[in-house]
Structure 1
Amino acid sequence: MKHILGKKLAVKIAALLFALMLAGCSTLRSTEAEAVRTYLLEAQFDRTVQAKPVPLVLTVSPSRAAPGYNTERMAFVRQPHRLEYFAKNRWAERPAKMLDPLLVRALELRTGFNAVTSADGMVKGDVRLDTEITLLQQEFTTSPSRMHMRLRVQLVEQASYRVLATQVFDAVEAAPADNPYGGVIAANRMLPRLLDQIADFAAMNGVSFYGHLK
């Protein structure tokens, strides 16, 4: 009798352990399914450009973003005028914040300014570069989908706050896949081109401004 009861107890314990194991696996699968994927905005630069020297210090102010894009959420559109966001895919940080060190690096490599500094540093520049992300979205209105980014840039004289030049830079890149990761790849492919163009804009107008000072 005791032997039979012992076997029944062992069976019950085994069944309980198996149920707990299944519950644990189910929880793990649920957690994995709910995990949010985060992505970086990055840029690789090929080489340093031998630019014309500009004996000025350029300060890069913190980039801003237009409403709808000042967020870690990744925006996409399926129809005009309607902005949506991926539920489980996000930028690791606000794109405007991730853009700043990349912009500084591009300006260091492609312009001849004496120095390129961030606005939060101790050095006050002679001219300042202001940047705003006015659009950053994956567009499913085309096939394949594409990443679309637009930046508005101003070069400002620090002493007088006079705007020296303004330009809008716009780029699109086809996504290799119609999903959030495809949009990330497209964004990081086109970003170096945009940054190179902004650096050339800053260099050209910096040279022009210094020429008028002499």
Structure 2
Amino acid sequence: MRVFLIILALFFGGCTTIKPSVAQYSIALDDLKINSSALGFKEKSLKISKAFASSSLSSHRMEYMESDHRVFAYSQSQWQEAPSVMIESTLLKSIREAGLFESVHPSKSRIKSDFILETNIERFMQFFSEDMKESHVEVVLNLSLIDAKTNTLFKSRTFISKSTTKSPDAEGGAEAFKSALSEIMMQNIEWLDGVCR
């Protein structure tokens, strides 16, 4: 009986597979150290609305596109948070640090703000060359500053950034996304600075 149990245990033990751990990536930006001299909206508040994005950008999947325009997902890599959530929090942090507004609030805040910043994520993708040896990322964000009292568009602008990856893989893509998003955040602050004057 013991021999039978040992053989049974070895049989089922041999059938089990060890699932490899999934690497998680984030695009949290370093401190941008932005100081603005604009005075126009120092007494106004801003709310960052929930980003408009495709369903794939609202998930943790890390996707990439091959040269024939087919989209795939990395099997052993994923985002720590959905890209739409990371972009929202990055906008909030960078605008708050810039000091352009008296206060900056997240979308879930119950505080009524003077302005709302709407974000439409038009592109957030890693692209590979035909031979799969090189890749780059592209980020396209359309930002709209809305007067919350009248629900009318105050200003709007589209930001585009591309960044070449250091390595054609998920880790290289994450680093390139961080670089591209950092550039857009700086451009956004400059734009808002000009709008506030």
TM-score tier by shorter-chain length is: 0.7 to 0.9
- Note the C-alpha offset of 1:153: 0.7
- Note the C-alpha offset of 1:127: 1.0
Q: Give yes or no for the alignment of 1:52 onto 2:38.
A: yes
Instruction: List alignment gaps of at least 5 residues for structure 1.
Output: 1-11, 208-214
2:102 maps to what in 1? Answer: 114
Number of residue equivalences: 192
> Contact 2:58–2:85 (CA<8 Å) still a contact in 1?
no
> Contact 1:154–1:164 (CA<8 Å) still a contact in 2?
yes
2:73 maps to what in 1? Answer: 85
1:196 maps to what in 2? Answer: 186
| C-alpha distance in structure 1 between counterparts of 2:57 and 2:69, whole Å | 14
Secondary structure of 2:134's counterpart equals coil
> Contact 2:46–2:113 (CA<8 Å) still a contact in 1?
yes
- Note the C-alpha offset of 1:80: 4.8
Residue pairs, 1:135-146, within 5 angstroms? 135-141=123-129, 144-146=134-136
One-letter code aligned to 2:135: S
- Note the C-alpha offset of 1:114: 1.2
Larger helix proportion of the pair: 1
2:119 is aligned, of 126, 131, 142, to 131
One-letter code aligned to 1:126: D
- Note the C-alpha offset of 1:144: 2.5
> Contact 2:24–2:77 (CA<8 Å) still a contact in 1?
yes
- Note the C-alpha offset of 1:188: 1.4
Secondary structure of 2:190's counterpart equals helix
Q: Which TM-score applies when normalising by structure 1?
A: 0.77
One-letter code aligned to 2:18: T
Runs of 4+ in structure 1 deviating by more than 6 angstroms, as ranges, are: none
Q: What whole-Å deviation, never above 9, does each CA across 1:64-84 have from its counterpart, x for those lacking one?
A: 213543322112111254322
- Aligned-residue identity in percent: 19
1:31 is aligned, of 18, 43, 46, to 18
RMSD: 2.7
| C-alpha distance in structure 1 between counterparts of 2:98 and 2:149, whole Å | 24
2:154 is aligned, of 164, 167, 171, to 164
Q: What whole-Å deviation, never above 9, does each CA across 1:141-184 have from its counterpart, x for those lacking one?
A: 37521111111110111111111111111111111111111101
- Note the C-alpha offset of 1:195: 1.1
| C-alpha distance in structure 2 between counterparts of 1:74 and 1:147, whole Å | 12
> Contact 1:38–1:91 (CA<8 Å) still a contact in 2?
yes
